[in-house]
Amino acid sequence: MPIFELTIDRLAHTGEGIGTLDGRAVFVEGALPHERVRAAVTQGKVLRGELLEVLTANPARRTPACPLADRCGGCDWLHFDERAQREAKQQAVIAALDHLGGIAPGTYQQLPMVSGAQAMGYRRRAVMHAANGGLGFFGRRSHERVRVDNCPALTAGLATLPKRLGELLASVSTDLEELRLLESGGRVAVALVLKKPPRPKVRQAAEELLAGKLVHGVVLVVPNGALEAFGEVELHDGETLLRPELFAQANAEVNAELVRSAISLLAPAKHERVLELFSGNGNFTLPLSRAAKEVVAVESSRGSVALGQKAARAAGVGNLRWIEGDALKTAKGLSAEAQFDCLLLDPPRTGAPGIAAVARQVGARRVLYVACDAAALARDAKELAQHGYEPKTLQVFDLFPQTQHTETIFLWAR
């Protein structure tokens, strides 16, 4: 590959540095704005550079705290000071909205970015894979597996578990598709996602994890979707219930602020009906039900719906209806029988194309969009603007320190 010296102008929303070569953008992972670097450039439809040397460093560059930072794909911004990380994330969201969505800065209120007290040791959830006789994460932009025995990004209850879990599961590592870790309230549960139906040896390994008091619960997830549970697999996060095989936000502290701010901005009144799409197991659902007259929550995952229903029953919530189904299709069907004052949605990274038309169909006057991808948010924001919704308030949350990922909430009204 040819080697070039490049000046890095800015960061992409993917977190890569962007330089210019013969008028074309070059994406260089690990490079920071205002740096002069040497990079081996791969020619193609998109030019990508492998960072070889930093000739002139950004003042925010630092030595990564983790010895695996140059190989592990878990944290891609360990070389970047936290304050500068947060500024870059805020600007990336604003730039995506402007350039991809046509939503210019100044047309909406920007609230201060929210970050947590811990820049490391905050992750209560992780997905790991068998790696070199232990457990690990995928490498940078690859499916090469990097063994991780101790992960400083994980909570104190999880940080040293990879080594011990890897040793106990070594005899069944070929059965594992992945292992999902979850910690909440000082209790730990894991899900072993299997490539094939469990052998007796796999069940024995699950029992040994419990007997060794490494975890409080184990779930075996079989390819056909069947589950086998050992011990206590349901964890509490306030009134919300969590399970290791289901999605949960990784940063408990900042997630709590995210929920509070989302409910506050949407501000459902006691006489208003709320439709929640992509509700998961109820991260926003119970707080919404406390504020509104009625909440209808739609989620495609059967396990998440069941867990959310169980939590709602335990909390004595009576104004909440759960529906298992595709979010947008279900919302369209609901529009024929009922109208809603507010809409809250928390879609996956791909966003929710078509959400603006659905919002109009269900009658929503206010829409609170929760986004984990700036580009998807921008595309859907463009649709909302085209359907008569006006941007009101934006807030970015640093839910994932040491990475380029963000969580954003955006309030719209008509």
Q: What residues are labeled active site?
A: 372
- Whether 310 and 291 have beta carbons less than 8 Å apart is answered as no
- Whether 388 and 414 have beta carbons less than 8 Å apart is answered as yes
- Token pair, residue 309, equals 């229903």
Question: Positive or negative CA dihedral for 338, 344, 350, 354?
Answer: positive
Q: How far apart are CA 64 and CA 190, in angstroms?
A: 29
Question: Sheet containing 294-299: which strands, arranged edge to edge?
Answer: 109-110, 390-397, 407-413, 366-371, 342-345, 273-277, 294-299, 320-324
Residue 59 makes CB contacts below 8 A (sequence gap 6+) with none
Q: How far apart are CA 191 and CA 178, in angstroms?
A: 8
Q: How far apart are CA 346 and CA 283, in angstroms?
A: 10
222-248 exposure pattern, b = at least 16 Cβ within 10 A, e = fewer: eeeeeebbbbebbbebebbbbbbbbbb
- What is 305-367 written as a DSSP string? HHHHHHHHHHHT--SEEEEES-HHHHHHHHHTT---SEEEE---TT--TTHHHHHHHTT-SEE
Q: At 412, phi and psi to the nearest 5?
A: -125, 150
Q: At 42, phi and psi to the nearest 5?
A: -90, 125
- Whether 370 and 345 have beta carbons less than 8 Å apart is answered as yes
